[in-house]
């Protein structure tokens, strides 16, 4: 396998994602011994799935990313909210193929089901250990197979904090460094997909758009 991409442009959703998603991508790269993988900053903030589903908005944001100086690939990483990740990604791929061919750039699409903060719910014990001042209480009856069914993961996370409150712009990036990536690989399908997206972007011979259909 020949690896090429090391400077992806990220298309993310909210203000907290602008700092947290690059941190997560770098952590995944480091875990794969790909220390040269450094996303371009700042990411392009798109406002979320509903906005990208509007006519021409996806093309507009991809064009902005494709024209970014020094980029070598594009990774779209946003919340899936109430949508079906599989259905949404298939729709996106159909729309992205002409853009990838136009700009001759590799593009991968990854959805967080349902929200980025769902990843934190998989790692509440790790968050509690790293941030003891927040007094985060892991829920003893939380079914790990159902975590990504939880809507309003931000609110759930906040309710597990006995001191303070969860604020994405303040906490999201720092919480990324408490994530147990091995645990997420076993428990979170959307995390595995994000990791696969990074592998795709780094593989010179795997086509232009991921997932491949």
pLDDT at residue 2 is higher than 60: no
CA dist 18 → 44, 88, 153, 178, 200 (Å) = 8, 22, 18, 18, 22
Cβ atoms within 10 A of the Cβ of 41, count?
10
Q: Give the model confidence (pLDDT) of 70-127 as tens digits.
A: 999 999 999 999 888 889 999 999 999 999 999 999 999 999 999 999 999 999 999 9
Task: Write out the two tokens for 154.
Answer: 């931000």
Mean pLDDT of the chain: 94
Q: Would you place residue 4 in the very low, low, confident or very high pLDDT band (cuts 50, 70, 90)? A: low
How confident is the model at residue 1, as a pLDDT?
Answer: 42
For β-strands 40-45 and 8-12, DSSP reports them as: parallel
Residue 26's nearest CA partner among 195, 213, 167 is 195
């Amino acid at each position: 396998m020949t690896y090429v991409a090391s400077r992806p442009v990220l298309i993310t959703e909210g203000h907290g994602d602008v700092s947290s998603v690059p941190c997560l991508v770098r952590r995944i790269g480091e875990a794969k011994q790909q220390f040269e993988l450094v996303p371009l900053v700042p990411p392009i903030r798109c406002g979320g799935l509903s906005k990208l589903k509007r006519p021409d908005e996806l093309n507009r944001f991809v064009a902005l990313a494709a024209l970014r100086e020094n980029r070598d690939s594009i990774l779209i990483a946003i919340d899936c909210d109430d949508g079906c990740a599989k259905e949404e990604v298939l729709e996106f791929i159909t729309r992205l193929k002409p853009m990838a061919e136009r700009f001759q750039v590799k593009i991968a699409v990854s959805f967080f089901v349902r929200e980025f903060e769902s990843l934190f719910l998989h790692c509440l014990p790790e968050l509690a250990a790293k941030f003891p001042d927040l007094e985060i209480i892991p829920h003893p009856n939380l079914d790990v197979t159902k975590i990504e069914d939880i809507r309003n993961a931000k609110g759930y996370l906040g309710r597990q904090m006995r001191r303070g409150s969860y604020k994405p712009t303040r906490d999201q990036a720092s919480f990324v460094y408490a994530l147990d990536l091995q645990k997420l690989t076993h428990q979170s399908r959307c995390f595995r997909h994000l990791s696969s997206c990074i592998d795709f972007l780094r593989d010179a011979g795997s086509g232009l758009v991921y997932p491949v259909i």
